[in-house]
Structure 1
Amino acid sequence: MEYLQSVYEKIFGADEPSDAAQICYDTPRKVVCFGNVLLDRTVKLEEPELLQRYDLKLGSKGEMDLEQLNKIAADAANGSSCLINPGGSALNTVRILKQLGTDAQFFGSIGSDKHGEELRSLLLERGIEARLQVVDDVHTGQCVCLMYNDSPTLYANIGASAHFSVQELKRAALHDTQSFLRPIERKQILYVEGFFVPYRKEVCDYILLHLVRERRYLALNLSAPYIVRQHPEDMLQLARRAMFIFGNRQEFQELAEVAGCETVEKLARQLLELGQPKILLITNGDAGVQLATNYVAERAPPGDLRFEDFRAQRAEQLVDATGAGDAFAAGFLHAWLEKRSLTECVRLASNIASKVVTQVGCNLP
């Protein structure tokens, strides 16, 4: 336990005083993120035998039955140290934004169980602003990350996260004194992770129809190829409305395929020709980042389509690539909100991602 406590302090810093855990919703944040909140268990494997035993492909992602997930976690933790952290793609982005100096707020749901209470306590200790709907008779979402050769294999059961209700969102949006929305004449980003899209079509539709307008911009993270493949219409609908779209090349290739485009570049042209300013960030590991955009300046009409390639920033030492894309999104949005050029935004985002992969979990050193 002392070892695990020292790792926690290295990752998150020592616990804040109890009064710092009192989260205040009086000030609507510039970034509001919607996603799955999960209790993460991370185990470093010395050998690939466990992956082979459960027929798991190294580096794969997916959803799994809770009983099977717990069995794998128990087998993996046998004789190894297991780190338990608050997890989820959008929640990672919120945490990195906070570390960079941009306060953000997270929306999600947990179960009325011990894991939900554990997650709530961890978030309060870290000073992370999270509006969590509590769902009765459903377990809190969980994720198991198996690290082998610096490559994460991730499987989750989102549990209560699938039950986040549109009624909860409406109440928060329309609250007289504690609405999370800024006035439409003030800049705000509503960020949706792809993992949030399944089971929450009504919520996503409400965001698109009632919340995204004027200077409230939508940001979308594609999250995983299987999300795009299994929910093509929902993901395309969000992509067409989003000003910011984040994803790796494989995820964009899936989106291109479901949109009837032969290449990612043709998909980018199709999206950028919708007559709205758009910024597409296509990450490609060591090969760098491709920016596809018609964006000129905020509140300006779209300009000419352009593609720019950026070299990847080399990490000092690769420890854990988990959440690198989430950190990239946080770095980019932080810089954009500071009114930096798109080139500066991409470079800062790449720099943040290169630092995060030198740490355990999605954290800055």
Structure 2
Amino acid sequence: MNTIAVLGSANMDLVVRQARLPLPGETIFGAGFSTVPGGKGLNQAVAAARLGADVTFLGAVGADAYGAELRTLLTTEGIRSTELATADAPTGTAHISVVDSGENSIVVVSGANASVTTLSVEQRAVVADAAFLVMQCELPTRALAEGIAVARAAGVFTVLTPAPVVPLPAGFLASVDLVIPNQIEAAELTGESDPIRAAETLSAGQTWAIVTLGAEGSVVAYDGEALGLAPARPVTAVDTTAAGDTFVGALMAHLAVNFVRGTALTPDDMIEAVRFATVASSVSVTRTGATSSMPTRAEVDAILAQSLRHG
């Protein structure tokens, strides 16, 4: 099976459920509190592994209780983490407010993640041996650029979720094989409010782009041309935390199982992977939490099989 190397953040999510966001200077009561393993990198790694992929995680955690808990989770999920560094800084945290509508707001404190400014010899070897390198923007850009350089030299397919949107070096996005922003991120990166135009702009130069639109589905584009709008699966959302990360992890799991390294992805390959990822993401928003909400491959396959039976 093709290996996915995830170079990304690992956080402990501190989640408060509440009726609404407080006004500036206002104190309100919350309805509940929980700690859930998270971070965009760890989320995507867990989603991919739970959906059947062979995953190695690269990043850093602190020498603290949260770091130990995240390492245990990775082991439990079958994700290799032998090259996960231990930093002097505390493990990263994300402070998440989830309101009754299911929407959320998040403040991230990078902690150990900010220490990942370069890759070790061993981490570079992991990247070079993988079929896919999956990244986000919660690690320093310098480390991401190094990962891309190693991957490109080895013929590894590179994937970036440009979240949060941060200043990127010239040519950075063009050096990535697949970019997966949400609609807001795509608009910020391109200046295009129309997600189709944004996807076309991001995909220029033989790059794949998938712009996710939440309940509206996603736009798929390649080499400056939109291939179409992939519809969402209608569900009642209770918590959208990590829905995008579930989408990315599921997409990569599908490609890892079906993609032959060294061959070009076709539009049909990508659209089929997007369909699989859409179902996985739709399941995640019906549950609370980040990693705790992610489905298994059996769950997604059952939903896809049922949809085929019903046309």
Please give the range of the TM-score, normalised by the shorter of the 2 chains.
0.7 to 0.9
Distance 1:306 1:139, change over 3 A: closer
Aligned residues: 282
What corresponds to 2:212 in structure 1?
Answer: 283
Q: Distance in 1 between matches of 2:279 and 2:115?
A: 36
What corresponds to 2:128 in structure 1?
Answer: 181
What corresponds to 2:229 in structure 1?
Answer: 309
Distance 1:121 1:311, change over 3 A: closer
Q: Distance in 1 between matches of 2:242 and 2:255?
A: 20
Distance 1:214 1:309, change over 3 A: same
- The SS at the match of 1:110 is strand
Which of 146, 162, 174 matches 2:114?
162
Which of 17, 30, 34 matches 2:3?
30
Amino acid at match of 1:314: P
1:267 deviates by: 4.8
Distance 1:290 1:117, change over 3 A: same
Distance 1:252 1:271, change over 3 A: closer
CA contact (8 A) 2:95 2:108 kept: yes
Which of 177, 186, 189 matches 1:243?
177
- The SS at the match of 2:181 is strand
Alignment of 1:10-21 (within 5 A): none
What corresponds to 1:190 in structure 2?
Answer: 133
Which of 82, 103, 106 matches 1:151?
103
What corresponds to 1:135 in structure 2?
Answer: 87
Amino acid at match of 2:273: C
Q: Distance in 1 between matches of 2:226 and 2:42?
A: 31
**Structure possessing the higher radius of gyration over alpha carbons:** 1
Q: Distance in 1 between matches of 2:231 and 2:127?
A: 37
CA contact (8 A) 1:256 1:264 kept: no
Relative to the length of structure 2, the TM-score reads: 0.80
- Give per-residue Cα distances to partners, 1:89-117, cap 9 Å, x unaligned: 12111111111111211111122233323
CA contact (8 A) 1:29 1:105 kept: no
Relative to the length of structure 1, the TM-score reads: 0.69
- The SS at the match of 2:66 is helix
- Give per-residue Cα distances to partners, 1:291-343, cap 9 Å, x unaligned: 1114xxxxxxxxx834311221112x312101111111122222223147222
Which of 19, 22, 25 matches 1:51?
22
Which of 280, 289, 299 matches 1:361?
289
1:39 deviates by: 1.1
- The SS at the match of 1:290 is strand
- The SS at the match of 1:204 is helix
Alignment of 1:1-365 (within 5 A): 30-45=3-18, 47-48=19-20, 51-53=22-24, 80-130=31-81, 131-136=83-88, 138-149=89-100, 150-166=102-118, 168-174=119-125, 179=126, 181-182=128-129, 188-196=131-139, 200-213=140-153, 215-224=155-164, 227-228=165-166, 231=167, 233-234=168-169, 237-257=171-191, 264-274=195-205, 276=206, 278-294=207-223, 305-315=225-235, 317-337=236-256, 338-339=258-259, 341-362=269-290, 363-365=293-295
Distance 1:255 1:127, change over 3 A: same
Amino acid at match of 1:101: G
RMSD, aligned α-carbons: 2.7
- Give per-residue Cα distances to partners, 1:37-85, cap 9 Å, x unaligned: 111112211x33x632557xxxxxxxxxxxxxxxx9xx977xx542222
Distance 1:125 1:306, change over 3 A: closer
Gaps of 5+ in 1: 1-27, 56-71, 295-303
- The SS at the match of 2:69 is helix
- Give per-residue Cα distances to partners, 1:242-282, cap 9 Å, x unaligned: 1111011111111103xxx68554554444442x3x21111
Q: Distance in 2 between matches of 1:54 and 1:103?
A: 47
CA contact (8 A) 1:86 1:123 kept: no
Amino acid at match of 2:234: R
